[in-house]
Structure 1
Amino acid sequence: MIHLTNIHKQYGSQVLFRGASLQVLPATRTGLVGANGAGKTSVFRLMMGEEEADKGEISCSKKTVIGYFSQDVGEMSGRSVLDEVMSAAGEIVAMGARMREMEARMGEPMSDDEMAALLEEYGNTVDAFEHRGGYELDSQAKEILTGLRFSNSDLILPVESFSGGWKMRIALAKILLIGPDVLLLDEPTNHLDIESILWLESWLTNEFKGALLMTCHDREFMNRIVSRIIEIGNEGATTYGGDYDFYLKEREIRREQLLASYRRQQEMLSKEEDFIAKFAARVSHAAQVQSRIKKLDKIERIVLPPEQRVMKFDFPVPPRSGDDVLHLKDLGKEWQTAHGEIKPVFSGLTGSIRRLEKIALVGVNGAGKSTLLKVITGQTEATSGEVLTGASLATGYFSQHSMDLLYPGQTVFEAVQETLPLENIGTIRNLLAAFLFQGDDVDKKISSLSGGEKSRVVLAKMLAQPLNFLVLDEPTNHLDIQSREVLLKALKKFEGTLILVSHDRHFLRSLVNRVFEIDHGEMRSYEGDYDYYLREHEKHNI
């Protein structure tokens, strides 16, 4: 369907691809992986024709319909949510209009040749219209929007009234509606809650019949969807036949094999070079020396790819808190809307958090999870009830909002130094290096950082403090899979108490030992891990 053959691509002095080849075949489900900056987004842009290769060939049938979802959704305004999504299917709507025109013409007198040509065009148009889901377009648009957690009343609202995260969902719905032959998804789960992720997972598995190529930081989502991995890096593309977990194991096996071959070759080269150096001046060995020199010149040297940089850190041992960390007593919260209306979020929440517990806070989007964390950390006041904190509690709070609290004019170094005013430069640089800020990176302005880089700065600032209670609201957003794994390992070893919100099921499944669920304004406690919660939750909803 889409073939990139012997592609060369360079930006200034940075070489992304040198003779790289990859292909997207019909009905394949492929994950695209690689370090930040390796060239994953460039692959999408090359396939879409938004960029051109310096050398090489990109081939794709003109009839192939490609849908591309990126993190840059562009401007949306002037339409309702439903109309905005339907606008993506303009070509399909035009097919329907053309069919009606042809149907009207069939009732008019014409020659046999004209009728035959009209019938042939009509048949081709009907086939294409059916293939693209034209007859179910309106109902499918509503089904997709419902799956992405839009209510019926949302569908008539103007798109400009929605936040950036919800606009991303609208953009995703537009791509899914057109039913492309090839679907390119760049981080589709970034702004979705668990319920929306589960729906998208089901839709891609059961409804979508085309080929899929996607990047995704959600490990479980990748494992459930893809059966093939293409790794971008070292100026090339390497294909693995399997899911993401298989890729990790196979990549390690291949690297060990390459390392073994490299060592054998280095040992052989060393012996040959020693022989040449020892006998180069002897006339009696001249022929042997020249033969070995020619042999070495013909050998293709094995080059080891550089190790991928990942975060490396552990939380410091925190001071001990009291055994009772937190108690919620009849907690309630209401928000006042811009129109003066009172909107209840939750009420009567009661529960306790004990030392060393690692708790997941779950619930549908809008249930009040982030609001509860803000109340717990004193970011906002409860409307009713109270939060009783235990002795010797040192709390750290991470949210997307805390990223906004970073001062844009500061450098990365200054932002962390602000938290550690008494530490020397070396200590701060070592801490930043653990979060992938090395060399000149520490002098980058906060305003120039990506979302993932800002997340790492906030985490570094938290690590610098002796905290025994961590409150984390979507800490994995913007972090790649490798960084998520490092954070997961650090949190598993963290010798304090933790409550977090996350839509990463692998993260929750591997970490938490207790679950709080907010549902319709009330809170239930599940005294077990995330899998236990899922089983019990399913029983309650049968």
Structure 2
Amino acid sequence: MLTLDKITKGFGPQTVFKEVSLVIGAKERVGVVGVNGAGKSTLVKIMGGQLDPDKGVVDTHASSVGYLSQESQCRLGVTVAEEMRSALPGVADVEARLLKASESMADGQASKSDLADLAKAADDLHRLEAHTLDARIGRVLSGLGFELDAVDRLTDTYSGGWQMRIAMAKLLLQEPDYLLLDEPTNHLDITARYWLMYEYIPSYPGSVVVISHEPEFLNVVCERVIEVEDQTIKEYKGNYDDYERLKEEAYQRQLKEWEAQQKELEKTREFIDRFKGNKSKAGMAESRQKMIDKLEILEKPKAKGRTIYLEFPEAPRSSVEPVIIKNVSKKYGDKVIWDDVSLTLVRGDKVALVGPNGIGKSTLLKMIVNDEKPTKGNIDVNPKTVIGYFAQHQAEALNNELTVMEETMAGIDPKLLETARGLLARLQFRGEDAPFKKVKVLSGGERSRVALATFLLRPANLYLLDEPTNHLDLNSRQVLQDALVKFDGTILMASHDRELIDAAATGEYEVENGKLVLVRDPAAARD
């Protein structure tokens, strides 16, 4: 059992949680939801011992707890196999004892103590299931998309996203009693996501607590949902769809209770105003006033934020063919990423690139914006093309010393100030102080929302998007989706977000062996 008892936590003047209590039982599957910046990561870090509460008690009841953050990285300068085996140091220790005892036996110098050590080491190896370790390492790495030869490669040879997968694989191999995952799917392609949600988590022997903004993922893996909001938590039984239904039912019930009380209060106050000057009924009026004074007045329940329809700046109309990719090949050393690929984007096309991580989707986008050069071939960007490029790590480029509003409006026409305010409000930067927070104090999710705002406010007629929904909460994903559907320009995006692709893309290509394989022809959607 993992328990939090009356936890309070703040950062400077900001209180994140106030007297929050929570119990996670054995073999539970719990999802944690809430807008970016609500405190989801803080809650899970407290559960995992990464943060201490200001007040209250965390009790793991002698259970093991493993935590994977959004920024988890593996060691560098070691092979993947060495990093994975370091997840279970007890195995290496026992193997060393076994080797020492075996050497004593081979030298003919074995004592009774050596024989006892040999027997004990053999028993310990059996208890630790060391004979299955390599198979377990292979299963986890394979599930997360690694090739068979991955164990022999140095961790340094992998990109940051793949290094995070190694860190995840290492934690999964440990199989702690309580597995805490903070947005684990951000760096996973569709195949790895499905393995995690349909195979690994359902069969996991302990409890799993996962922060996620993906309804499909939460629907599959969760039996309970915890919502983090307004310095506290609310619990809902069931998966994500159940949570949404139960939350709406609770809202409607509370709204009816509030409306009924307001109606009764109005009648009572009318009676008081009418008869407080009447000698015969003044006592009754006074009695009813005392009744109101003692009454616990219900607060009006919060409704879902209303949809704000935004008018984004228009860019100059592009040419009929904003980008033409001709016979492009790209190699890193001997590794072929793209092999003689051609693609013409026609004005109004909204094309999605899908496929495993590391297959070259980001590289193609970088070549279009000239951040990388093709090994062979040409990419022609028409002079009338105005590119808006949303990189995979766009939030890292923000200026930490600016406020949210200053960063959003940097280089923007001042006439767009009201549009910027509306966009920030829809992205949950509400209240008088929110737009004036320094970027450096924002959570990772909040930074992603600022990056999205700055992107959407800049005029462009070609959007290039690289995993744009990573780190965005559900509300912000909807803002982006609405903007892309409404956008009258051209889009080329790399994404694993099936909901976004289905809603916004008019064409789709799968990247496979350095080629583009047509899945859905954008020509079919052209006027």
Could you tell me the TM-score, scaled by structure 1's length?
0.80
Q: Secondary structure at the match of 2:508?
A: strand
**1:4 partner letter:** L
Report the 3-state secondary structure (helix = DSSP H, G, I; strand = E; otherwise coil) of the residue aligned with 2:379.
Answer: strand
**In 1, are the aligned partners of 2:201 and 2:208 still within 8 Å (CA)?**
no
Matched residues in 2 for 1:447 and 1:57: separation? 29
Q: Which region of structure 1 is more displaced relative to structure 2, 370-379 or 268-277? A: 268-277
- Verify: 1:476 aligned to 2:476, yes or no: no
Give the Å deviation of 1:282: 5.0
Q: CA deviation at 1:10?
A: 5.0
Secondary structure of the equivalent of 1:423?
A: helix
> What does residue 35 of structure 1 align with?
35
Structure 1 match to 2:499: 506
Who is 1:376 aligned against? 368
Aligned match of 2:254: 258
1:364 positional shift: 2.2
Matched residue, 2:81 = 82
Report matched runs for 1:483-494 at 5 Å: 483-494=476-487
Measured at CA, do residues 464 and 296 of structure 1 come closer, stay the same or move farther in structure 2, by a change above 3 Å? Answer: same
Partner of 2:68: 69
Structure 1 residues 122 and 302: CA distance shift in structure 2, 3 A: farther
Q: Provide the residue aligned with 2:350 in structure 1.
A: 358
Distance 1:43 1:409, change over 3 A: closer
Asked if structure 2 preserves the Cα contact closer than 8 Å seen for 1:310 and 1:482, the reply is no
Unaligned runs of 5+ in 1: 336-340, 530-542
2:341 aligned partner: 349
Alignment of 1:114-513 (within 5 A): 134-160=130-156, 162-280=158-276, 284-285=280-281, 287-289=283-285, 291-304=287-300, 306=302, 312=308, 313=310, 315-316=312-313, 319-335=316-332, 341=333, 343-389=335-381, 392-400=384-392, 402-403=394-395, 405-407=397-399, 410-421=402-413, 423=415, 428-430=420-422, 432-437=424-429, 439-444=432-437, 446=439, 449-513=442-506
Q: Distance in 1 between matches of 2:100 and 2:61?
A: 28
Conservation of the 8 A alpha-carbon contact between 2:311 and 2:419: no
The structure-2 alpha-carbon separation of the partners of 1:37 and 1:190, relative to structure 1 and needing over 3 Å to count, comes to same
Higher mean C-alpha deviation, range 258-267 or range 432-441: 432-441
The TM-score with structure 2 as length reference comes to 0.82
Two-structure CA RMSD over aligned residues (Å): 3.9
Which residue identity does 1:355 align to in structure 2?
R
The answer to whether the Cα contact below 8 Å between 1:44 and 1:184 also exists between their aligned partners in 2 is yes
What is the rounded CA distance, in whole Å, between the counterparts of 2:405 and 2:283 in structure 1?
60
Say which is worse superposed, 378-387 or 139-148, in terms of deviation: 378-387
Q: Number of matched residues?
A: 510
Change beyond 3 A, Cα 1:53–1:463: closer
Decide whether aligned partners of structure 1 residues 324 and 163 sit closer, same or farther in structure 2, where only a CA change above 3 A counts: closer
Checking the alignment, whether the CA contact within 8 Å between 2:330 and 2:374 is kept in structure 1 is: yes
Answer whether contact 1:334 1:344 (CA < 8 A) is retained: yes
The one-character-per-residue Cα deviations of 1:15-73 (angstroms, maximum 9, x if unpaired) are: 444453332233221111122333323332332344555665655432x2222212343
**Cα separation, partners in 2 of 1:56 and 1:98, compared to 1, 3 Å:** farther
Identity %: 35
Runs of 5+ in structure 2 lacking a partner?
105-109, 523-527
CA distance in 2, matches of 1:98, 1:23: 40
Q: Please report how far the alpha carbon of residue 368 of structure 1 lies from its aligned counterpart in structure 2 after TM superposition.
A: 1.3
Amino acid at match of 1:397: Y
Amino acid at match of 1:239: E
Give 3-state SS (helix, strand or coil) of 2:170's partner: helix
Q: Distance in 1 between matches of 2:450 and 2:231?
A: 29
1:188 Cα offset (Å):
0.9
Q: Which moved more, 1:87-96 or 1:501-510?
A: 87-96
Structure-2 change in CA distance of 1:481 and 1:269 (3 Å): same
Contact kept in structure 2, 1:317 and 1:494, CA below 8 Å: no
Amino acid corresponding to residue 20 of structure 1 in structure 2: V
Q: Identify which range, 90-99 or 237-246, moves more after superposition.
A: 90-99
Q: CA deviation at 1:75?
A: 7.2
More deviation, 440-449/464-473: 440-449
Using the alignment, how far apart are the partners of 2:230 and 2:436 within structure 1?
Answer: 27
C-alpha distance in 2 between matches for 1:395 and 1:74: 32
Question: Are the equivalent residues in 2 in contact too, given 1:469–1:498 (CA < 8 A)?
Answer: yes
Q: CA distance change for structure 1 residues 133 and 468 in 2, over 3 Å: closer, same or farther?
A: farther
CA distance in 2, matches of 1:239, 1:190: 24
Once residues 455 and 310 of structure 1 are traced to their aligned partners in structure 2, the CA distance between those partners, rounded to angstroms, is: 21
Query: Shift in Å at residue 192 of structure 1?
Result: 2.1
Equivalent-residue separation in structure 2 for 1:404 and 1:36 (angstroms): 16
Q: Which residue identity is paired with 1:38?
A: A
Q: 1:80 to 1:422 in 2, by over 3 A?
A: same
Q: 2:502 and 2:230 mapped to 1: Cα distance? A: 33
- Change beyond 3 A, Cα 1:47–1:377: closer
Deviation at 1:349, TM superposition (A): 0.7
The residue that corresponds to 1:3 in the other structure is: 3
Conservation of the 8 A alpha-carbon contact between 1:228 and 1:239 = yes
Q: Aligned letter for 2:411?
A: T
| Shift in alpha-carbon separation, 1:302–1:224, aligned structure 2, 3 A | same
Amino acid at match of 1:208: Y
Measured against aligned partners, the alpha-carbon deviations of 1:421-463 in whole angstroms (never above 9, x if no partner) come to 4637556545544544564554555555554444334433333
